[in-house]
Structure 1
Amino acid sequence: MRLRLVPSETNINFFRFAGLTFGASVVAVIASIILFLTMGLNFGIDFRGGTTIRTESVQSIDVGAYREAIDALDLGDISITEVFDPTFRDDQNVAQIRIEAQPGEESASTETILAVEQALQQVDPSITFPAVESVGPKVSGELIQAAILAVTGALVAIVIYIWLRFEWQFSVGAVAALIHDVAITIGLFSLLQIKFDLAIIAALLTIVGYSINDTVVVFDRTRENLRKYKTMPLVEVLNLSANETLSRTLMTSTTTLLALLALLFLGGDVIRGFVFAITWGVVVGTYSSIYVAKNVVLMLGVKRDWSGTDKPKGNKFADIDA
């Protein structure tokens, strides 16, 4: 007996409020862009520059105690992570502390670093500081450019893949859904001023992968049904395909969210921003695969007959079943 989150005979009309849902998505994307341009993002140390201090101690590292000691110095954004390595000795406990660049400085000053060291020595007298490194504005700027290229490259590669696998209309629908997901996620981070660092870039790429996977499942079933029901109106074919894949969509989203919510509430501050971004991305990705991608395909229309003698011109790979 298989578990189904929705009955097999489910027939939800996803296009009943197509104008409202698609219009809301357009408004949300525009609002996100405005928020990004006006409020900006709360960039972390990776993008703003700062100083990294490596510590070693024979005592176990208490991240909470470290953070409490440094917070008293009012240095702004502080990141503390414990470093694990199988080559470390049993009594070698290593942590990495990152401090954002102070106003008017490219990195933390000697006085600031000394104050941090003294504060940590109050917590753990055995602590040592084997390395101090700074990330200047130039490196931070290069990281921002690399992050933009990574996200843009992922979107371009996905567009090419969808175009080869399906029709160009599906490719446009898929990229519209991806832009929707990424833009709204960035807008939410801008609105809430959640720290935006390289971990969030990784989360955005994960969102792109998750969203396109869900979209491809719906599109693949749509292509099958377009061949099977040659006279059925396109809107009904899209509805049928969404309903047939709804159980799979909800099952995947629900199981993913269960793991993410556990990490969100129990994973700690270090990964909370990353997990929050992916959690939000799973929700909007599931929404966009149904209410954004399919709406775009419906507006553009699709060639109904892909049989051997009438293949789409200029797209000889459209019928590849890979």
Structure 2
Amino acid sequence: MKTAINFMGIRNIAFALTMLLTVISLGSLAFKGLNFGLDFTGGTLIELGYQKPIQPSDVRDQLRNAGYADAQVQSFGATTDVLVRLRGDDPQLGNKVAQALQAQTGDNQLTINRVEFVGPSVGEELRDQGGLGMLLALAGVMLYVAFRFQWKFGLGAIVSLLHDVIITLGVFSFFQIPFDLSVLAAVLAIIGYSLNDTIVVFDRIRENFRLLRKAELIENINISTTQTMLRTLATSISTLLAILALMVFGGENLWGFSLALFIGVTAGTYSSVYIASVMLIWLKLTRDDLIPPVEAEAVDDRP
């Protein structure tokens, strides 16, 4: 291939940007932490039934007016049923919420179908298991890439994935966006998406090591990235458009999930070029790492 975009020409600038965002994210996680939602901290779940259909957004506004600004509201089955999640373990919280809502709904009578309390111990268990699942996913990714390619590729992939996860968590920590189970699911999905993009670039780099025998590593990466760029952009843009639609029309309950995906997909597209591939340069990947040397044939000394 005669024409290739010099992606690696700005790798030092990209590294500086990466380090800046990573340090900010880690600092925010260390000093501000994540704003864990009710799934992790515990709280009260209230199921309400209305006589007439009602929008969750209207219930959310009514609760905010009543002083429950952190309430999470979602539809539950029929259009007349809503599910309210609130912090606190007050046994009378369900009645208080129902009274506050009834005072603002007028003739649309409501009833309390059930009230449940999720203790903090359950939330801690979910948080610990979620973190363990994420670590196991990262470990599995590294083993898979190291087995399929070579350990230097595996290390580059894992550093790239860690970057994507740290940036996503950093945004949620810096802006104190609620972090619940749906966001955790999005983070796990980011690991799979980012790996897929990285694998495509790695596979082309390995193939070009055989085809472009005179090309240096940096030239190989530039050519391989250019060859896969249209595929990468098509995948990323179509995915981001679907996520944007989810952010706009999915409602508040899916907003955190879609936001995490949007950040992760954007970071994953960037990291597959300027982190995973740059790691190969730092690790000094050579053709000999991928192509085992041919053993010399034994010489027959018999007369």
Provide the TM-score with structure 1 as the length reference: 0.85
Partner residue, 1:244: 227
- The CA distance in 1 between the partners of 2:87 and 2:267, in whole Å, is 32
- 1:189 corresponds to which residue? 172
Helix, strand or coil: the match of 1:231?
coil
Contact 1:76–1:99, Cα closer than 8 Å, also in 2 = no
Q: In the alignment, which residue of structure 1 is the partner of 2:299?
A: none
How many equivalent pairs are there?
292
Q: Counterpart of 2:214 in 1: which secondary structure? A: coil
Q: Match of 1:163?
A: 146
Q: Partners of 2:164 and 2:141 in 1: how far apart?
A: 14
**Contact 2:201/2:225 (8 A) holds in 1:** yes
Name the amino acid aligned to 1:98: R
**Counterpart of 1:54?**
47
Give distance in 1, aligned partners of 2:62 and 2:242.
Answer: 32
- Any stretches of 5+ residues in structure 2 without a counterpart? 296-303
- 158, 168, 175: which one pairs with 1:175? 158
Q: Which runs of 5+ in 1 are unaligned?
A: 1-7, 102-106, 312-322
> How well do the aligned residues superpose, as a CA RMSD in angstroms?
2.0
In structure 2, the CA distance between the partners of 1:242 and 1:59, relative to structure 1 (3 Å rule), is same
Please say which of residues 287-296 and 225-234 is displaced more in the overlay.
225-234
Does the C-alpha gap of structure 1 residues 255 and 60 become closer, same or farther in structure 2, counting only changes over 3 Å?
same
Aligned to 2:185: 202
Q: TM-score normalised to the size of structure 2?
A: 0.90
Q: Deviations over 1:240-263 (max 9, x none)?
A: 100000000011111111111122
Cα distance in 1, alignment partners of residues 66 and 129 from structure 2: 33
CA distance in 2, matches of 1:229, 1:308: 17
Q: Find the counterpart in structure 1 of residue 98 from structure 2.
A: 117
1:217-232 equivalences in 2 (<5 Å) = 217-232=200-215
1:99 aligned partner, one-letter code = L
Does the Cα contact within 8 Å between 1:75 and 1:100 map onto a contact in 2?
Answer: no
- Residue 77 of structure 1 corresponds to 70
Q: Return the alpha-carbon distance in structure 2 between the equivalents of residues 83 and 98 of structure 1.
A: 12
Structure number with larger C-alpha Rg: 2
Separation of aligned partners in 2, 1:221 and 1:100: 51
Quote how far apart the aligned CAs of 1:60 are: 1.4
Deviation at 1:10, TM superposition (A): 5.4
| Match in the other structure for 2:87 | 100
Aligned residue runs from structure 1 range 283-302, under 5 A: 283-302=266-285
The DSSP-based 3-state class of the residue aligned with 1:245 is helix
Check conservation: 1:76, 1:100, Cα contact below 8 A: no
Which of 16, 19, 31 aligns to 2:24? It is 31
Please name the residue that 2:250 is paired with. 267
* 1:42 equivalent in structure 2: 35
Corresponding residue for residue 300 of structure 2: none
